[in-house]
Amino acid sequence: MKKYVWMILAVFTLVAGAFAQTTNRKYEVTFFGAPPKGQKVWNLPRSVAADGKGSIFVFRASDPPVLIFNRDGELQKTWGDGLFPDAHSIDLDREGNLWLTDRDAHMVYKYTRDGKQLMTLGKKGVAGDNKSMDTFNGPADVAIAANGDIFVADGHFNSRIVHFSKDGKFINIIGGAKGPGPGQLEVPHAVVIDSKGRLIVADEQPTAHNARVQIFDQNGKFIEQWTGIGLEQPTGLAIAADDTLYVGDTDGNSITILKNGKVIDVIGSLQARPHNIAIDPETGVLYLTDPPTPMMAGGIFNAPPQNPVASANARSNTGAGSVDRTTERIQGGLVKQVIKKK
């Protein structure tokens, strides 16, 4: 039987003086990767992206904020010191450019993978409301359509998706009417685009207690919503080429896997709070991040086939930081590999 390997850089709670290893009946967990050389903890890794060509990008709210790894967990490049003090999300377009959000700066940035700025959206330090056409209030995520159009999930303090042309011209607002009803949005924290061009939005709705996934067309027409599927706080989305959807559930400490709105599997008992998810379109590897909280250490997760021994050797020979396991128990991140059992 084919073995599917999921790699996770995870965060674990302090249990009896040590972190309990995440396992369940379908998955095994082992280590992978390390923070940059000289750093003993991951320090607020908020988001992750994979380009399908062997590079994995980690975005974190500490310097250096942009970390580029290969699939073996070897750190290849870092950049961005001082540019993104409240780094939140990182996404890729079809040309391989990076789209980054800074929550407290209320900004969206487009960069090359090497750190050259190509575009900005928003006004730095200026918070907009749900009707604003050129400002955001804590932008959470970005999705880029096949034609280059830009969709910004303006969902930390606003309740909308903002649509721009590929050159940054405002087109329209999707949502904007805060509420739990169909087509309304509470906290649109993540957005992806499926093979039909539809917008899939994770609406974590912490006040409505009705966490859900909503579907819109690119003109903002509401299509459907997926509720009652066991989500507590969906904050991260990743979508495969066949439209299989992966939902990172922060409060649920799990990843829910959906097909056409139906739950086909749940990766539970992570002992981590997945904040953002990405899938490698070539290998099917799933990655997710978990920033630290007062009760949990920060981390990043990763997903298929890798050699645990080779990965451990790569970690120690690539200039990556030497991880202090004692510090990790308090505030650091652990790199974990989750292997789906036969």
d(CA 180, CA 29): 37
The token duo for 273 is: 């709070």
pLDDT at 35: 84
Candidate ranges 113-122, 198-207, 246-255; pick with highest mean pLDDT: 113-122
The token duo for 309 is: 């021994």
Phi, psi (degrees; rounded to nearest 5) at 224: -165, 170
Q: What length does the chain have?
A: 342
What's the maximum distance between 2 C-alpha atoms anywhere in the chain? 54
pLDDT at 66: 96
Percent of the chain residues topping a pLDDT of 90: 57
Residue 321 pLDDT exceeds 50: no
> 121 vs 277, which has greater pLDDT?
121
Virtual CA dihedral for 67, 119, 166, 188, nearest 10 degrees?
A: 60
Q: Summarize pLDDT for 71-117 with one digit per residue, the tens.
A: 888 999 999 999 999 999 999 999 999 999 999 999 999 999 999 99
pLDDT at 292: 62
How many C-alpha atoms does 203 have within 13 Å on its Cβ side?
34
Task: Say which residues have a Cβ less than 8 Å from residue 95's Cβ, sequence separation at least 6.
Answer: none
> 4 vs 292, which has greater pLDDT?
292
d(CA 317, CA 291): 26
Residue 12 pLDDT exceeds 50: no
The token duo for 184 is: 């309304």
How many angstroms separate the Cα of 238 from the Cα of each of 186, 191, 202, 258?
20, 9, 10, 11
| Mean pLDDT, residues 173-202 taken together | 95
How many C-alpha atoms does 299 have within 13 Å on its Cβ side?
33
* Residue among 101, 122, 131 nearest 168 (CA): 122
pLDDT at 309: 30
Candidate ranges 14-23, 134-143, 227-236, 304-313; pick with highest mean pLDDT: 134-143
Please state the separation of Cα 296 from the chain's center in Å: 17
Residue 306 pLDDT exceeds 50: no
Q: Summarize pLDDT for 205-226 with one digit per residue, the tens.
A: 766 566 899 999 999 999 999 9
| CATH code for the domain defined by 5-340 | 2.120.10.30
Residue 241 pLDDT exceeds 50: yes
> 319 vs 72, which has greater pLDDT?
72
pLDDT at 168: 98
Mean residue pLDDT of the chain comes to 80
Residue 3 pLDDT exceeds 50: no
pTM of the model: 0.83
